[in-house]
Chain A
């Protein structure tokens, strides 16, 4: 156990320079944006004096290095600053929006896994067959479309033409009440509140954006499942298992799949962090109140604190995710931990 503990501690230690790097780069990047936030937020009909006033109020008249140290000092106190455009603390903005993005991404990944893993296994058991080829074509087609395009086409067909999807406006139609806030995930919160109607409403809103995201994430998961299954199936222990007369089912799911799970989980982790970034575009199409659309708006108006906060939150999430994957390894593969560098 202590070996595993050390390995995890080492992972956390490795993450520290990454977080520092992210803080520095996001600071430099926002300052490199060509826009002048003081001019932007001084509003229409601003005079040079009022722009200077705004600049002082935002602390942007100080030298860059000093601004950076002020920012770092605030960070250490857990203060991400105030978003100028919304006038609210960045922390509360992120807290309100992160669950929305996570709910969408996780639902999409769930749907995607439910389709792509069986598809990958099916393809791996009959490599080279028409099933394999068809699977390959389908998932590749899915990943070849820009997500915003898929999203708009889905809205057009299912909402505008057929009228079977609800209006593509955020997480919940205004007919429903937001469930009492527990986790921020409407699906979970509505279950906790035993409010099945709201639960249904949430699901309805989720279908189209989640499908859009899922289509995009099918390919990597299906491919990795297929590849990992193929390599597992050709391994010696599978031949042994077959030779010793174990049922086909038992061999496939009990042994081969368990061994193929490791690379699939790794892929899943990467797909997750990638999908969270790609959310930006889907959120825009579906008016989804997530952090992606928030970051885009903030970037365009040079809202420094908001951009920095967003990037930092995503980086922390990424580090955390890698930690979880490492932990998942140790559950799936008992050999982990002994060989950790």
Chain B
């Protein structure tokens, strides 16, 4: 859910007992100690990254190899997560899919982060006509039912990985742009901005190095939440048949296909990719909370 954290960038917790000489590292350490769930989420994230990096080399089977003699086998010692309707090893597919899913979500979020920041920063800093036009354009995107807009884009452009990324990025741009615009708008006339300008910095420089960094903390939270949401979005597209091309393993497509087999008793086809998908989204969401605690300037003394 990406719209949640826009209005209140930070949840101020009761003032923490200030650790002496608080450096960033100490602060992180403190947050992790205080909040073991956040620590857990970072561990899980590391796990995801590792399986994305080395997954294809460690899996026991070729994720694309079919085996008509061993279709729909329940989980066993040879096939930990069972096999699917073409006899492919579900465990291998789930692990190998990690990379693609992370790529989709990271690429989509990066794109919307960059474009959203630029549009939002310009609109907030320049104001005037540019601001009005940009804001109305963003409102227009927001007024669309977002999932249907993503569907439409993918249907129009064709269902390749790149198009899924573009569609996900486009529907997320307004959230970043609005956030940045609001932050920039507040600080446009702030003392430190004027000081930087008087010191001879160009507008672009002031914007990029003095104002924009202030918008980063709330955006970090937004980023980690969006990472999870991007995966869910891709899964939803798969469910209605507009996902990644077969036979590429991808969690959403595997859940969507497996869902048809639940009633006939082959629960493992949907359950394991579903579990992994949930784990990844879960990790990103928890990380979002943790990041907020870490980057929130109000929590430092």
Interface residues of A (CB under 8 A from B): 14, 17-19, 21-22, 25, 29-30, 32-34, 127-128, 133, 136-137, 140-141, 143-149, 152-153, 156, 160, 216-217, 219-220, 223-224, 226-228, 230-231, 234, 263, 266-267, 270-271, 273-274, 276-278, 280-281, 284, 292, 295-296, 299-300, 307, 310-311, 314-315, 318-319
Contacts and interface: CB of A to CB of B under 8 A. Distances in A.
5 contacts: A219-B1, A220-B1, A281-B147, A315-B144, A318-B142
Interface residues of B, number: 59
A114 B12 CA distance: 24
Contact of A141 (B5, B11, B274, B278): B278
Q: Which 9 A-B pairs have the closest CB atoms?
A: A21-B140, A227-B11, A277-B145, A220-B4, A270-B3, A144-B281, A32-B156, A315-B143, A144-B282
Nearest to A269: B3
B158 A319 contact: no
B286 interface: yes
A148 B12 contact: no
Contacts of A228: 8
B25 interface: no
A65 to B, nearest CB: 19
Tell me the interface secondary structure of chain B in the complex.
helix
A231 B5 CA distance: 14
B147 A278 contact: yes
A318 B144 CA distance: 8
B285 interface: yes
A307 B155 CA distance: 13
B255 A18 contact: no
Contact of B37 (A133, A226, A307): A133
A34 B156 contact: yes
A146 B282 contact: no
A226 B8 CA distance: 11
B148 A146 contact: no
B157 to A, nearest CB: 8
B41 to A, nearest CB: 9
Contacts of B282: 140-141, 144
B75 interface: no
Nearest to A293: B240
Interface in B240-299: 240-241, 252, 255-256, 259, 262-263, 270, 274, 277-279, 281-282, 285-286, 289
Contact of A274 (B3, B13, B149, B281): B3
A270 B146 CA distance: 12
Contacts of B12: 230-231, 234
Kindly name the residue among B1, B142, B236 whose own CB sees the greatest number of chain A CB atoms within 10 A.
B1
B255 A310 contact: no
B259 A148 contact: yes
A267 B6 CA distance: 9
B140 A149 contact: no
B278 A137 contact: no
Given A33-B155, A280-B147, 15 more contacts: A18-B140, A18-B143, A25-B140, A128-B34, A133-B37, A145-B278, A145-B281, A149-B255, A219-B285, A227-B10, A230-B14, A281-B240, A299-B152, A314-B143, A315-B143
B133 to A, nearest CB: 9
Given A137-B37, A160-B263, A277 B4 contact: no
A285 to B, nearest CB: 8
A74 B194 CA distance: 53
B24 interface: no
A281 B151 CA distance: 12
A29 B152 contact: yes
A216 B10 CA distance: 22
B37 to A, nearest CB: 6
Contacts of A281: 147, 236, 239-240
A312 B94 CA distance: 39
